[in-house]
Amino acid sequence: MAEPVRLRRLTDQEGQKLQQTVRRGSTNSVRYRRAMMLPASAGGNRVPVTAQLGQADEDTVRDVIHRFNEIGLACLDPRWAGGRPRRLSPDEEGFVIQTATTRPTKLGQPFTRWSLRKLAAYPRKVHGRVIRIGREALRCLLRRRGITFQRTKTWKESPDPDRDAKLDRVEQVLERFPDRVFAFDEFGPWGSGPPQAPATCAGATPTPATPTYSPPSARNAPAPAAKRAFAGADAPSTPRPDQPRTAAPERRRGRFRRRTATEG
The residue-averaged pLDDT of 6-25 equals: 85
The residue-averaged pLDDT of 87-112 equals: 88
- pLDDT tens digits for range 53-78: 888 888 988 888 988 888 888 888 88
pTM: 0.34
The SS3 assignment for 226 reads helix
pLDDT value of position 248: 54
In this model, does residue 230 exceed pLDDT 50? no
Identify the CA nearest to 99 among candidates 66, 116, 127, 122. Answer: 122
Average pLDDT, the chain: 75
Identify the CA nearest to 133 among candidates 150, 116, 113, 147. Answer: 116
- Rounded Cα distance, 122 and 142, in Å: 15
- pLDDT tens digits for range 121-151: 998 887 677 888 888 899 999 988 888 877 6
pLDDT value of position 118: 92
Spans of all domains in the chain: 12-76, 90-144
C-alpha distances in Å from residue 194, one per residue of 5, 11, 49, 185, 190: 92, 83, 97, 20, 11
Three-state DSSP string of 184-212? CCCCCCCCCCCCCCCCCCCCCCCCCCCCC
